[in-house]
A and B are shown apart, each in its own frame.
Chain A
Amino acid sequence: MMHMHPEAEERHVLTVTVDNEAGILAKIAGLFTARGYNIDSLTVADITDNHEVSRITIVTHGPPSQIDQIHAQLERLVPVHKVVDLTELGPHVARELALVKVAGVGEKRVEALRIADVFRARPVDTTTESFIFEMTGAPDKIDSFVALMRDLGLVEVGRTGIVAMARGPEEA
Chain B
Amino acid sequence: MSEERSGANILVESLVRQGVEFVFGYPGGAVLPIYDALFGDERLRHILVRHEAGAGHAAEGYARSTGKPGVVLVTSGPGATNVVTAIADAFLDSIPLIVISGQVPTGLIGSDAFQEADTVGISRHCTKHNYLVKDPADLAAVVDEAFQIATTGRPGPVLIDIPKDVQIASAAWSDAPIQRRQRYAPRTAGSAQEIAQAVEMIAAAKAPVFYTGGGVINAGPRASELLRALQAKTGAPVTSTLMGLGAFPADHADWLGMLGMHGTYEANLAMNQSDLIICVGARFDDRVTGRLDAFAPNSKKIHIDIDRSSINKIVRVDLPIVGDCASVLDQILTEWGSRKGQDLTAWKARVDTWREKKSLSFPANADAIMPQLAIQRLYELTKDRDPVISTEVGQHQMWAAQHFPFFSPNKWLTSGGLGTMGYGLPAAIGAQCGNPDSLVIDIAGDASIQMNIQELGTATQYRLPVKVFILNNEWMGMVRQWQELTYESRFSNSYSDSLPDFVKLAEAYGWKGIRIEDESQLDAGIQAMIDHPGPVIVDCLVHKESNCFPMIPSGASHVDMILYGDNVAGTMDDEAKALV
Contacts and interface: CB of A to CB of B under 8 A. Distances in A.
Interface string B129-151: 10010000000000000000100
B252 interface: no
Given A1-B574, A22-B132, A72 B124 contact: no
B575 interface: yes
B120 interface: yes
Contacts of B125: 30-31, 34
Interface string B256-275: 00000000000000000000
Q: How large is the interface on B (under 10, 10 to 19, 20 to 34, 35 or more residues)?
A: 20 to 34
Given A68-B312, A69-B313, A78 B578 contact: no
B308 A76 contact: yes
Nearest to A76: B309
Contact of A78 (B129, B307, B309, B313): B129
B124 A76 contact: no
A73 B574 contact: no
A77 B574 CA distance: 37
A77 B308 CA distance: 12
B425 to A, nearest CB: 30
A75 B308 contact: yes
Interface string A64-80: 01001100110111110
B183 A2 contact: no
Contact of B184 (A2, A72, A78): A78
Contacts of B124: 23, 26-27, 30
Contact of B311 (A22, A34, A72, A79): A72
A30 B125 CA distance: 8
B121 interface: yes
B143 to A, nearest CB: 15
A34 B574 CA distance: 25
A81 interface: yes
A79 B183 CA distance: 8
Nearest to B312: A68
A19 interface: yes
B128 interface: yes
Interface in B561-578: 573-575, 578
Contacts of A72: 308-309, 311, 313
B152 to A, nearest CB: 11
Nearest to B314: A65
- List the 8 closest pairs (A to B, CB-CB), nearest first: A72-B309, A2-B574, A78-B129, A34-B125, A72-B308, A73-B309, A76-B309, A2-B575
Given A72-B311, A79-B183, 8 more contacts: A1-B574, A2-B575, A22-B132, A69-B312, A69-B313, A76-B307, A78-B128, A78-B184
27 contacts: A1-B574, A2-B573, A2-B574, A2-B575, A2-B578, A19-B183, A23-B120, A26-B121, A26-B124, A30-B125, A31-B125, A34-B125, A65-B312, A65-B316, A72-B311, A72-B313, A73-B309, A75-B308, A75-B309, A76-B307, A76-B308, A77-B129, A78-B128, A78-B184, A79-B129, A79-B183, A81-B183
